[in-house]
Amino acid sequence: MKKTNNTQKITGLALGVSALLAPLSAFGEENTGTGSSIFNIPASSSETGTGFLRVDPSVNLRLTHGTDTLQNDLEVGGHDPNDEGFNFQGLEIGANIYGGDHVRAFINSNIFKPDGEEFESEFEEGFIKLIDLPGNLELRAGRMLARFGDQNAKHNHAFDFVNSNAGNIRFLGDEGLAMEGGEISWLLPTAADDILSVSFGSAVPHEEEEGEEDEAAELIEQALPVDDLVVARYQTRFGADDFRRFQVGASFITGENGFGLTTKVYGADVTYSWRENGLERGGRQFRSRTEWIYRDANTSEGSTDENTVNTSLLWEFVESWEGGLRYDWVEGSNTLGLAKRDRISASLAKRVDFGDNLIGIARLQYDRDNLRGGGVEDTLWLQFGFDWGRAEIR
């Protein structure tokens, strides 16, 4: 989608601020290049420049080359590769900002090239966060990726696969749910690592491409929650021991959709991680993730409810080599004219640690899409990229 002129102005300002503050930066935390872990791994090097103000810039790049048999228009994420041949998925430029003991901030912009178009830019996130407040509270305000489910709050470079989960695209929009507003989080005083977050605001608007849009695509867009949003997530993390960790979450969205009616979205997810070396660096590791999302939308065509399930297995069988397997299933909707869809993805990724928080990645991925009534589509993607900097503030 094309972005508004105001968005591009904000993008330029954000990048300028990041460049001016870069000399104040320090590096040292673990980079999350090939996916996130729910283990707290110690930083690889010590911090420097830890005065009242510190800025840690980051740069993430993803380039993809693909070949396919696509005969149908598949729903794809806003920065997913969707063209046979070269795809410039995105160059993300961001910065963590630290102000004393209680103030944190994060800014992030993405430069990308849609299929057959010129380079565009998007200001994806820019928020300020207050931490360690009385009552174990945290406050966040600005533009932010909503805390819903396992994937929505992650940027493209942190995905475990080349592309987005199919259900997220249909139920939250092709670029996920980014919102402008405020959030309050409560770190519960429990034995586990529990947090309850509630956000209020409106979805970030995107200007549509010029030209005609088919009726089905318009109905999909209008069914998304966009105004008077309330987003809630409860998440708990706990460990059976130093080698095994669990993360369980429940999410909810309610808001006014493009029809002026109500859309509600419910979600539940569970992640299990095992690391051969436990809390120490290195070694083999295994992760399994499963997520269910249900959407209940009132539209001008009547009410519609849909389910989606995605599950993935990720096995780092040799250090820095990871194999992945994902299954997506999305229920169809007669009201919105949407067919059922299921997809199997298999990937092999290689990570190279160059030191100084620079990590390179190469990923080969095969997708097999089954569109009920629309045939089978096969796609092969080869992705390259790098991640430089520290894990972003969330």
CA quadruple 187, 193, 198, 201: dihedral sign: positive
What pLDDT score was predicted for residue 282?
85
What pLDDT score was predicted for residue 153?
93
Burial class (CB in 10 A: 0-12, 13-18, 19+), 307: middle
Among candidate residues 184, 102, 177, the one with its CA nearest the CA of residue 144: 177
What pLDDT score was predicted for residue 244?
95
What pLDDT score was predicted for residue 263?
96
Rounded Cα gap, residues 105 and 190, in angstroms: 27
pLDDT in tens, the chain (394 residues): 434 444 444 344 334 433 333 333 332 333 444 455 666 655 443 344 456 789 999 999 999 998 876 555 677 888 888 878 888 999 999 999 999 999 999 999 999 987 767 888 899 999 999 999 999 999 999 999 999 999 999 999 999 999 999 999 889 988 899 999 999 999 999 988 999 999 999 999 866 554 445 666 777 889 999 999 999 999 999 998 889 999 999 999 999 999 999 999 999 999 999 999 998 888 899 999 999 999 999 988 888 899 999 999 999 999 899 999 999 999 988 777 777 889 999 999 999 999 999 999 999 999 998 877 667 889 999 999 999 998 888 8
What phi, psi does 36 have (nearest 5°)?
Answer: -95, 155
Domain ranges of the chain: 5-39+53-388
Q: Is 387 helix (H, G, I), strand (E, B) or coil?
A: strand
What pLDDT score was predicted for residue 387?
96
**Does residue 124 come out as left (phi exceeding 0), alpha (psi in the -120 to 50 range) or beta?**
alpha
For residues 173 and 234, the answer to whether their CB atoms sit within 8 Å is no
Q: Which residues contact 225 (CB under 8 A, 6 or more apart)?
A: 177, 203, 253, 254, 255, 256, 257, 263, 264, 265
Rounded Cα gap, residues 218 and 46, in angstroms: 51
Q: Is 219 helix (H, G, I), strand (E, B) or coil?
A: helix
**Does residue 148 come out as left (phi exceeding 0), alpha (psi in the -120 to 50 range) or beta?**
beta
Q: Please report where in the chains the tokens 């820095």 appear, as a residue.
A: 320
For residues 392 and 107, the answer to whether their CB atoms sit within 8 Å is no
What pLDDT score was predicted for residue 194?
95
For residues 112 and 93, the answer to whether their CB atoms sit within 8 Å is no
Three-state secondary structure string covering 314-383 = EEEEECCEEEEEEEEEECCECCCCECCEEEEEEEEEEEEEEECCEEEEEEEEEEEEEECCCEEEEEEEEE
What pLDDT score was predicted for residue 285?
95
Q: Locate 4 and state its tokens.
A: 């508004």
What pLDDT score was predicted for residue 207?
61
**Does residue 116 come out as left (phi exceeding 0), alpha (psi in the -120 to 50 range) or beta?**
left
Distance, CA of 139 to chain centre: 21
H-assigned helices in the chain: 5-21, 166-172, 215-222
Q: Locate 32 and state its tokens.
A: 């999350």
Rounded Cα gap, residues 292 and 280, in angstroms: 32
Q: Locate 274 and state its tokens.
A: 């095992």
What pLDDT score was predicted for residue 214?
62
- Domain 5-39+53-388 CATH (choose: 3.40.50.720, 3.30.420.40, 2.40.160.10, 3.10.450.200): 2.40.160.10
